Structure 1
Amino acid sequence: MSRWQDAALLAARLLLAVLFLGGAVQKVLAPEPVYELLAMRGWPLWLYWPALIYTTAAGLALVAGAWIAPVALSLAGYCAVTSIFHLQPEDPWQMTIFVKNWAIAGGCLALAVAGPGPWRLVR
Structure 2
Amino acid sequence: MGTQGDIAALVGRLLIAALFLLAALHKAWVPMAVEVVLAVRGWPTWLVWPALVFNLLAALSLILGIQVRPMALMLAAYCGITSLFHFIPSDAWQMSIFIKNWAIAGGCLVLFAHGPGRFALRP
Specify the TM-score bucket, using the shorter chain as the normaliser: over 0.9
Which amino acid counterpart does residue 52 of structure 1 have in structure 2? L
Cα separation, 1, equivalents of 2:78 and 2:90: 23
Structure 1 equivalent of residue 106 of structure 2: 106
Mapping 1:1-123, distance limit 5 Å: 1-122=1-122
- Superposed CA deviations along residues 22-80 of structure 1, whole A, max 9, x for unmatched, are 11111111112201110111000111111000000011000010111100000000000
Aligned-pair distance for 1:122? 3.7
Which amino acid counterpart does residue 93 of structure 1 have in structure 2? W
Q: How many residues align?
A: 123
Cα separation, 1, equivalents of 2:31 and 2:16: 21
Cα separation, 2, equivalents of 1:116 and 1:88: 34
Identity %: 52
| Stretches of structure 1 lacking an aligned partner (at least 5 in a row) | none
TM-score normalised by the chain length of structure 2: 0.96
| Stretches of structure 2 lacking an aligned partner (at least 5 in a row) | none
Which amino acid counterpart does residue 18 of structure 2 have in structure 1? V
| Counterpart secondary structure, 2:120 | coil
Deviation beyond 2 Å, 4+ runs, structure 1:
none
What is the aligned-residue RMSD (CA, Å)?
A: 0.9
